Chains A and B, each alone.
Chain A
Amino acid sequence: MEQSFAGPAILVEGLTKSFGDVHALRGIDLSVPRGTVLGVLGPNGAGKTTAVRILTTLLRPDGGRALVEGHDVVREASAVRRSIGLAGQSAAIQIELTGRENLEIIGRLYHLGRAASKARATELLEQFDLTEAADRAAKTFSGGMQRRLDLAASLVGQPQVLFLDEPTTGLDPRSRLGMWEVIRSLVAGGTTLLLTTQYLDEADELADEIVVIDHGEVIAAGTSTELKGRVGGDVLEFTVPDRPRVGDAVAAVTKLAEGEPHIDEGTGVVSVPVGVNGSDALIQSVRSLDEAGIETSGLGLRRPSLDDVFLALTGHAAEEEDADTGGKRRRGRRKGQPEAEKAGRASS
């Protein structure tokens, strides 16, 4: 390995890329020190895949530059290819072939030789808990297993820098946790990792540093703790079991709020940014809610989550931008029927 190079594993400066009128990247900067994990967080269409494709030599940037392990992704593309692994947004495996065949073929294409390719495949199948299914056609694999096989394929060449584009999108919660486990063990082995995700908790869980991108621009960067600090303090949170009274509850605590109170329509959880005097606010809120005769459950203070960060940074929750229509849709956990309404109707 090229230990001689001392700079960051990934360095990106002023990277731009447009597809016709669509400005997928409007000048992003990144620096990922060796052996660390960068989480690139952004909603649909933010430009995550475009950035990954440029860094993995699949796409030429319009402007700016990108270095991986000190090599320019355009001028020294083949040097870059020798040091990276890529697991793209869809599982790039051949489903007609077995798990083992998929990995052995990749090994041969890395010029490992027959015996070493076989050994490496066996080792990876073991590591990714696929040994039992190894000799079945990959089309019989579950989505989680296919994803793991795809990740294994990206590691055949023992890359120094690994790119994972939304590794857990579409997985059920259990497979997601399994995937996190696998990724953590990889990182423990010293691999530099750039991971894109739409899930705030995923970035929080896996990344040392996080950059938030939206509309092709980095809108925030830092550790998870630093980003949470950007929200400026604590969040008061509670649920109102009597759903029709949520509005009254919000009104009762509005005077404490240092930002816009947020009601999650799915879960009915009310979050109120209360700034630095969290405990005062907590006591005040108990009083006000009690005076107003509103029962609450789970009342408490918490450190802000990345959801709050996104809200604070962009003025909207992590939404997806529909490129075709320009319309916005709520996504992920925040989606769902406004249950407050349903409950209201049911009780009347």
Chain B
Amino acid sequence: MTAIAIQPAPGAPGLVTRARWAVSDTLTISKRNLLVWARVPAYIVFTVIQPVMFVLMFRYVFGGAIKVNVPGGYVNFLMPGILGQTAAFACFGTAISLAQELKKGVIDRFRSMPMARSAVLAGRLVADTGRMTVTILIVIGVGYAVGFRFINGVGPAIGMVVLAIFLGIACCLIAAFTGLAIGDEESVQAFGLIWLFPVTFLSSAFVPISTMPGWLQAFANNQPITFVIDAMRGMALGGSIATPLWKAIAWLVGIFVVFAPLAVRAYKRAA
């Protein structure tokens, strides 16, 4: 080997160095993940084109048949729902990528290196949050083109986007745990569909819950996606915010508290 002088870290690094590495390693991993994402056309299709198609389909195909009582009509009702779903669906990528990396031994390599232990998960979440934010902004742009308007001011509009992002991160944590625990790409995908489709569709995202049969209403009225989307809708269009927002925040905090440690544990144990 021609020698390029590289100083292999001799002793144990100090606390400050370790903290610096935790940040820089997380950024390295997230840049890496975004680079991978940008190289796979199918990922772009799923993360951008799919929500745009949903906007257009609900706006123009189903929208006419759905009666809602909000200012601006169905397109205004729809957009917060689509955005919540878009954020939630971002977690498919999280679970699938982690399962793939686990299977290919990429995670084994990272775990055998002297890098920050937290970086693989944290970097994954940072990258997915970035990706999700871009998607949300694109979908809002498309929404504006088909008639959607924020009618409650800039501050609440930003609040709505932030809430959507937190919903997305919560889902990504659940997905990170399941991706690492299951560790098989196809099963992870199937498992994601099993819970994500029902919780997003059986909510206030696309239709007023009052149009559902009674037994469904009982579920739809009391599940977290509904709270989040009701709060988002309140922020975008005005109307009651406080009650759904507190419930939404309580749920999201609960999900963080339960699933962040579970995901970390699954990462440490990943075999």
Contact = CB atoms under 8 A, between A and B. Distances in A.
Interface of A: 1-2, 53, 56-59, 78-79, 81-84, 86, 88-94, 96-97, 101, 105-106, 108-112, 116, 119-120, 123, 127, 137, 153-154, 157-158, 189
Given A96-B36, A96-B40, A97-B32, A57 B1 contact: no
B10 A92 contact: no
A88 B4 contact: no
Contacts of A79: 12
30 contacts: A53-B108, A56-B108, A56-B112, A57-B111, A78-B12, A81-B113, A82-B114, A86-B112, A88-B105, A92-B104, A94-B36, A96-B36, A97-B36, A97-B39, A101-B35, A105-B28, A105-B32, A109-B25, A109-B28, A109-B110, A110-B113, A110-B114, A111-B114, A112-B6, A120-B6, A123-B2, A123-B4, A153-B109, A154-B109, A189-B1
A153 B32 CA distance: 15
B21 interface: yes
A309 to B, nearest CB: 31
Given A101-B35, A120-B6, A58 B114 contact: no
- Residue among A84, A110, A116, A137 with max Cβ neighbours from chain B (10 Å): A110
Given A92-B108, A123-B4, A109 B113 contact: yes
- Residue among A81, A83, A101, A109 with max Cβ neighbours from chain B (10 Å): A109
A53 B104 CA distance: 15
B35 A97 contact: yes
* Interface pairs A-B: 10 shortest CB-CB: A92-B105, A88-B105, A96-B39, A109-B115, A86-B112, A92-B109, A81-B114, A56-B112, A82-B114, A108-B28
Interface of B: 1-2, 4, 6, 8-10, 12, 21, 24-25, 28-29, 32, 35-36, 39-40, 103-106, 108-115, 119, 271
Contacts of A153: 109
A50 to B, nearest CB: 10
- Residue among B21, B40, B113, B115 with max Cβ neighbours from chain A (10 Å): B113
Contact of A58 (B9, B21, B112, B119): B112
Contacts of B119: 109
